[in-house]
A and B are shown apart, each in its own frame.
Chain A
Amino acid sequence: MTVQIVKTPAEEALESAFAAMRDGLSGAAGDFAPALRDAAMATFRELGLPGRRVEEWKYTDLRGLLRDVPEPIRASGDTLSETDLYDVLGIDLDEFLAYRIVIADGAFAPELSHFEGTDALFQVLPLSEALANPPDWFREGFGKVNPPERDASLALNTAFMTDGVVIRIADGAKLDRPLHLVFITGSTRRGMVTNRNFISVGEGAAATILETYGARRTPDMLRNAVTEITLGHGAEVEHLKYQNEGRMGLHLSSWMAAIGPGARYRAFQFSIGAGLARNQIFTRFTGEGGEADVSGAFMVWDEQHADTTVVIDHAVPHCKSRALFKGVIDDKARGVVQGKIAVHPGAQKTDANLMAHGLMLSERAEFDAKPELEIYADDVVCGHGATTGELDEDMLFYLRARGLDVNQAQALLTVAFVGEALEKVECAPVREAFVARAAAWLGSDKS
């Protein structure tokens, strides 16, 4: 039985913002985007902001937490420099050789992007252009890559998306450098930013894709970022994300991945920023023989809230998936890991495993885990595990008996704890940057 619930001010603000902006959003003049946006807004109107009554959002009460909605950010003209990128990302861009595509304040920033001479390997389009003049392949696939049913945050993204990156990697293309997608806000004004990416990886292609999110000045941006990615037959992709948004902000993120036959997908998200971060990863095998590793780590303190929600759909037989999530929670912060492995009827020979571990560094920290198995085939090997606790006292004593003070001992054990997850990252410079970031976080540089 559904009960009609009174709309919150934030819900009303979103609806009226949409009405006001609708005809000015990217692709408004074409025949493609407006219909998608209208349908998405209708879905949102029906669902409202998800709160505790929605099972998937049980631990993250967006409805209660989102009080108001700021105006969408538009390209501010307040130009960002390379130095800004470095400050926000904490990765030395000179050292990190990558094809870089920057979305600044919600719009494609060609002056900061570098991917010249790569036409044979991949094709890049700003989302705003793709929505205005959709190529056939974009029109056919966009919005249809393993979308979750009835997800309000995805609906909001589709309704409000301004810009993002559309990439098509050619069949057989082996990218010599990672693709680095940078999402940065430089505006001093609080605002809403809605990005949408669409990545199509051709048959037998191989790529490393890193998404980084950060805000330069404003601590309380409201970000909604979605990436759709399809892997063709035998494609190999390492898909990474680093999120270090302002600590009062809201970061809603959804990755939707469809993994083709024999393809290998490795996803990893490292999240330390935002006041409230909800990272959703929806992965689906669409052909036999696929392999996926969907993992991540988060480190939160103060009153931060980090939620990782993962669904791995074994829709076809003979696929293998692994997932490992580690959360470090300090002060009054709260960490959430929800992970569902769904084995569909007939998906025999599925091999799936998911682990979630919470490490609490303070008295008032909170960790919630909901690992789930939903199994409709018998010839499978599936498992999950979850643990929560503080640092092991015997380990601490051992280290202290060897002269490490309490902070050193805790830091060493904590880095070892998240390190087990960070080791999953295959791209060495990114892995090293993550490990360094984790150590710095413990050394109190938590922003």
Chain B
Amino acid sequence: MAAVPETVEQVKDLSVDQYKYGFTTDIETVKAPKGLSEEVIRFISAKKDEPEWMLAWRLDAYERWKTMTEPRWACVHYPKIDFQDLYYYSAPKSTQGPKSLDEVDPELLRTYEKLGIPLEEQKVLAGVEGARVAVDAVFDSVSVVTTFKEELAKAGVIFCPMSEAVREHPDLVQKYLGSVVPKSDNFYAALNSAVFSDGSFVYVPEGVRCPMELSTYFRINEKQTGQFERTLIIADKGAYVSYLEGCTAPMRDENQLHAAVVELVALDDAEIKYSTVQNWYPGDKEGKGGVYNFVTKRGDCRGRNSKISWTQVETGSAITWKYPSCILRGDNSRGEFYSIAISNGHQQVDSGTKMIHLGRGTSSRIISKGISAGHSSNTYRGLVSAHRKAVGARNFTQCDSLLIGDQCSAHTVPYIEAKNAHAHFEHEATTSKISEDQLFYCMARGLDEEAAVALIVNGFVRDVLQHLPMEFMAETQKLIGISLEGSVG
């Protein structure tokens, strides 16, 4: 399985530009009225058949959001967003909530097939696709299907759309939702809390090692529609889960807004591994269109010896604003952030992480590789902090930037804050370009320039690649090549 299509060649025929997933799906939808208001929120909540407490929670978030302003500190530039000129809910008409596979609109199945996402369990079981992965497919505002649910349930693992969890597992949702990213955490998180549509919910009970990789595949299809998914993953004591996330969107001239919130909670001795391949539509060569990806992702290492690891491959979106973070609250907990961020064309990336060391003996590691090409701007922004009680906190950060061409830019903005003598932090950063010697060597051995660049870039990012699940690794290597097309010569 792969969230990124396996056969690059095949998909190439589908698109006219560099982007390979730019097709649209022609399907009837149900939408909320345009704009954002209490009525729209009530509409969304009613559509999802939510209990009263969920609606109250949304409305509270909405009240808070109205008093907040958009963050301006990131190194990204875009025209003011008219939040009343968006649709906040859109769902395929045929699928009011997830059903069994044979009830899913065949048009949708074809869409995911084109994207290389297998939704038919038998096909996966036949072993054609290699490793088994359970998939939750989210199309615009709703989850269309979740696979392997029954098999997971046998192990006690809950894996279902968020909307279903709100109805079926209210205790867990009420206990953990908003406990890592509070409603009023930031402008986009508040917006998401008010209007979130769907996303995945995962609960791995005490002592359970999730028997397969879990995965969500997000697709924005509808025009002028924001996608506001909400994901919540809880690994109870001693549990382990690996979760993969993939995203694409059609090519559209106007910008699409994506403001997701992901919350992870790891209790004592639990481990969560969260991997993302983000390949939203980046806009065309002139910088027209593309997804605004304003995402809040945060993990809470709440228990002793817990571990949360973020791995991200960011190649898409016109603008990325995203800082998957770890709150290292439990003693001896560990946070990791491995990132590859590639920007080309007119893309703007401002991404990084926060490692907040609160507990004793906590450790964290950050490896960030940024590659800028074309006219793009690529910023690493990170915070590593140790609070008074975080005795023995340790961090190592390595962040490297590679520039391809003289019209792009690369920025590195780390904040290192130690309020404790027994914290040891080490930060290193470099910026360089691909050496002429390396390029010449590869070309002298017969590689064309783009292939040589892709090869060298793959070498540059290998420290991060090795942290990706096997399923993602080969795809990512190909994706790097595609993302950098047209960056040289």
Contacts and interface: CB of A to CB of B under 8 A. Distances in A.
Query: Do A and B touch directly, given a CB cutoff of 8 Å in the complex?
Result: yes
Interface of A: 1, 55, 345-346, 348, 358, 360-390
A346 B424 contact: no
Interface residues of B, number: 35
Nearest to B391: A363
A368 B417 contact: yes
A302 to B, nearest CB: 16
A345 B375 CA distance: 12
Interface in B403-443: 403-406, 408-433
A323 to B, nearest CB: 14
A373 B412 contact: yes
Contact of A380 (B388, B418, B419, B433): B433
Given A388-B425, A390-B421, A383 B431 contact: yes
Nearest to B73: A55
A368 B415 contact: yes
27 contacts: A55-B73, A345-B406, A360-B421, A364-B388, A367-B416, A369-B414, A369-B415, A370-B415, A371-B412, A373-B411, A373-B429, A375-B403, A375-B431, A378-B403, A378-B405, A378-B408, A378-B433, A379-B406, A381-B431, A385-B426, A385-B429, A386-B426, A387-B425, A388-B418, A388-B423, A388-B425, A390-B421
Nearest to A353: B430
B163 interface: no
B431 A361 contact: no
B397 to A, nearest CB: 9
Interface in B337-373: none
Given A368-B416, A373-B401, A383 B411 contact: no
B10 interface: no
Chain A CB count within 10 A is highest, among B69, B410, B413, B421, for: B421
Chain A CB count within 10 A is highest, among B73, B401, B405, for: B401
A311 to B, nearest CB: 13
Given A360-B421, A370-B416, A384-B429, 11 more contacts: A348-B406, A358-B418, A366-B418, A369-B427, A373-B410, A383-B428, A383-B431, A384-B428, A386-B427, A389-B421, A389-B424
A1 B69 contact: yes
Contacts of B425: 386-389
Interface in B440-462: none
Contacts of A360: 418, 420-421
Contacts, number: 113
Contact of B429 (A348, A383, A390): A383
Contact of B411 (A375, A378, A380, A385): A375
Ordered nearest first, which 3 A-B pairs have the shortest CB separation? Answer: A378-B403, A360-B421, A389-B424
B406 A377 contact: yes
A382 B430 CA distance: 6
Contacts of A346: 406
Contact of A385 (B388, B401, B408, B427): B427
Contacts of B424: 387-390
Given A348-B406, A375-B401, A375-B403, A388 B411 contact: no
A387 B417 contact: no
Given A376-B409, A377-B406, A389-B424, A382 B431 contact: yes
Given A55-B73, A373-B401, A386 B432 contact: no
Contact of A371 (B388, B409, B420, B427): B427
A441 B79 CA distance: 55
B416 A361 contact: no
Nearest to B383: A370
B418 A368 contact: yes
A375 B409 contact: yes
Given A55-B73, A377-B406, A378-B404, A371 B421 contact: no
B162 to A, nearest CB: 33
Contact of B428 (A362, A381, A385): A385
A374 B411 contact: yes
Contacts of B408: 378
Contacts of A55: 73
B404 to A, nearest CB: 7
Contacts of A348: 406
Chain A CB count within 10 A is highest, among B412, B413, B414, for: B412
Chain B CB count within 10 A is highest, among A373, A374, A387, for: A373
Contacts of A379: 406, 433
Interface in B274-325: none
Contact of A373 (B388, B405, B422, B431): B431
A383 B73 CA distance: 23
Contacts of A371: 412, 414, 427, 429
A368 B406 CA distance: 33
Chain A CB count within 10 A is highest, among B403, B404, B428, B431, for: B431
Nearest to B416: A369
A317 to B, nearest CB: 11
Contacts of A363: 420-422
A378 to B, nearest CB: 4
B270 to A, nearest CB: 29
Nearest to A356: B416
B257 to A, nearest CB: 20
A394 B432 CA distance: 35
Contacts of A382: 430-432
B418 to A, nearest CB: 4
Interface string B130-156: 000000000000000000000000000
A20 B404 CA distance: 57
Contacts of B401: 373, 375
A31 B209 CA distance: 80
Nearest to A343: B431
B380 to A, nearest CB: 9
Contacts of B409: 374-376
Contact of A370 (B405, B406, B414, B433): B414
A353 B430 CA distance: 9
Contacts of A385: 426-429
B311 to A, nearest CB: 24
B426 A387 contact: yes
Contacts of A384: 412, 427-429
A78 to B, nearest CB: 42
B422 A390 contact: yes
B413 A372 contact: yes
Chain A CB count within 10 A is highest, among B69, B404, B413, for: B413
A346 B405 CA distance: 11
A386 B416 contact: yes
Nearest to B417: A368
A372 B422 contact: no
A387 B426 CA distance: 4
A388 B406 contact: no
Nearest to A342: B411
Nearest to A386: B427
Contact of B421 (A365, A370, A375, A380): A365
B423 to A, nearest CB: 7
A390 B418 CA distance: 11
